Structure 1
Amino acid sequence: MMKGICNLLWSGFAASLICIATLYPLATPAQTAADVPAVKLLKAPLTSPSDAWDYYGNSTVHTNGVAYSATRAPEIREIAKALGAGRLATDEYTSAVYKYVRDNIKPDFRFGLSKGASGAIIDQSGTAFDQAQLMVELLREGGVTAGYVIGTIGLSNAEFTAWSGVSGAKAVCQFLADGGIPAEINSSTNCENLGTGNFLTLRMAHIWVSANSKKYDPAYKEQIQKSGIDLAAAMGCGTQTSPTCGSAILNSVPAVGIYPGTTNVTYVQNANSTSIDAQLKAYATNLESRIKSDSVTTKNNLQIEDIVGGLKIDASAAESLSGFLCVEPYTALRARKDVWQRKTRGRFRPSCWTRCWRGVTPRRFSIQAA
């Protein structure tokens, strides 16, 4: 029998992930029962912006990672061309780039560079750092000088809820802590001491873009909570309040058994896969017909949030303040303000490394974003 343990560590400030996988080739039921696979969710502590700035320091050094390329990705070049690079005036092109990132890239609430500019395009989502890098790279592709600004911002409860869909002091505190985003809620970093009501003050670390002597924050965007449709009714298996989808499938599944050597690990075997496949296909066909019908009725192509519910970017929200595009819609407290023109600073770019043991020999592998 071989047992392997692999620890995966995501290095970065206030963010670590440890994954332990245990493999048992040809394991007996008794051995399997002793190590039933499980996932444990942990809560991260919240870190204040001032402590974060002390940790990160003032270095603006950028080292090239394994995904580094001397030329910009083709998707960035093509999007820049489509947005008017080389054709529009500087301010007009900058406005088009800002609107593209703001209206199309959904926010991921984690601190630091995660996917980078290309990853944000592919996933249509990204952290504030990813979105800032995407905007800067698109601007530079169009010949516009642009740089990064990082500092501490202040938001009201309404502003943060419109951005994230999360409200309540304790919930917001843990939400930011789990994303490794330095912040203070009501001047505190202790989530357990906060109540469930709206917070009074929020200070958080953030990044935005400087171009043409103006400030742009493509990551801040208001979102609309979509309720979705009644999926059970659309699939033809009851209603949202009284669904029958699962019970119809269970009719094709034999009685549940208890796995040998355990007391609470259940299993099934000899399920009627033909019947289950047919039922699932019927559900899918019904749902497809409903989506097509709604698209014809509304004259719009439905997005996933329109169907299953969730947050959707409000592209109609106000885009200007003080006479030009997107200066901060929040209060820029400027307790710390760094400006740099080159690539994203290395300290804000997380690295992922693995350390594996096979027998007694450790091996380490490192991966870092570009």
Structure 2
Amino acid sequence: MGWNDSSGGGNGKDPWGNRGKNPDGPPDLDEIVRKMQQGFGGIFGRRGRHGSGDKDGSSFIWILVALGFAILVLVDMTYTIDEQERGIVLRFGEHVATLQPGLNFRFPRPIEEILIVNVGQERSLTHKASMLTRDENIVDVEVAVQWRISDPHAYKFNVYAPEATLHQATESAVRDVIGKSNLDFVLTEGRSQVAQSQLKLIQQIMDDFETGILIIGVEMQAAKPPDEVKAAFDDAIKAREDEQRLVNEAEAYSNDIIPKARGRAARLREEANAYEARVIAKAEGEASRFEQLLTEYEEAPSVTRERLYLDTMESVLVDTNKVFMDTEGSNNLMYIPIDRILKDSSDSGRSSTRREFRTESSNPSESQPADPYSDSRSRGAR
């Protein structure tokens, strides 16, 4: 084969096996890799003779690998915790610290591991069951419990299944509280009190087991009798409502009638007191008048009798319209129409009549006997 034989029989090599330059063929891959290694070796270190370029290329690769590993380790050592979260640091499985929100550092895995616990999230648990009340009635209840994690370490390590423990504690508390209450109390006004008692009891159980759970609230979402007896309970509730309505109406009537009765009683009491005072005053006045008449009668008996007679006749005849007079020894009956006389007479006539009557009264000896009582008795009439 010739020196410059470029045919396919020698594969482009010289007699010693070296590849010659072939400007028409593709570039040599080995040559390209060798040149890249030499270039990187010139950057990171001085290239020596007798194969030092290959050694420098291998060192560069290991440096890149080490640098990438260091970056990964640094990223793994930093950890950011949100505001509502807490981080539990485990070093070879043992709890060593609890991380607060923000940027934190740790040893790389598998030396240390962080467990994230959300302490700000409010969780809810619903429990439905049929309970037996104190008065031996069955009621279907549905309870919703709102809770959150208060102690991350206790929540993760003190209890194997915290949520299952909470569910069992809720069922136990509901049965205990419902079993101590009457059915009417649970269905009507006692629902809020029952829920509050359940909250206290559930929280006490959680604290006794050190679960790290805080009970936020308990709500009685439903409390009703079973469907089989619902109609009877509806009738009982309606009767209770009617009873309360009648009681309210009776109280309203009582509030209306009692003040009126008290006012009427006070008015009657005042009228009775006034009547008592009036009767007593009248009796005292008559007694005083009688005493005065007695004194006058002792001084002038005839004059006093005449005066009493006239006063009595005046009081009797003041409202009389007709007067009949019987004369002594005669069968004639005298009729005096006083009503017509009073109606026809004028004011002047009445005044003159009064003056004449007064004149005649001033001289009783001339117009009538001195003792009218004796005359009337003798005639048999007054």
Q: Which interval holds the TM-score relative to the shorter structure?
A: under 0.3
TM-score normalised over the length of structure 1: 0.16
**Greater fraction helix:** 2
Specify the structure having the higher radius of gyration (Cα): 2
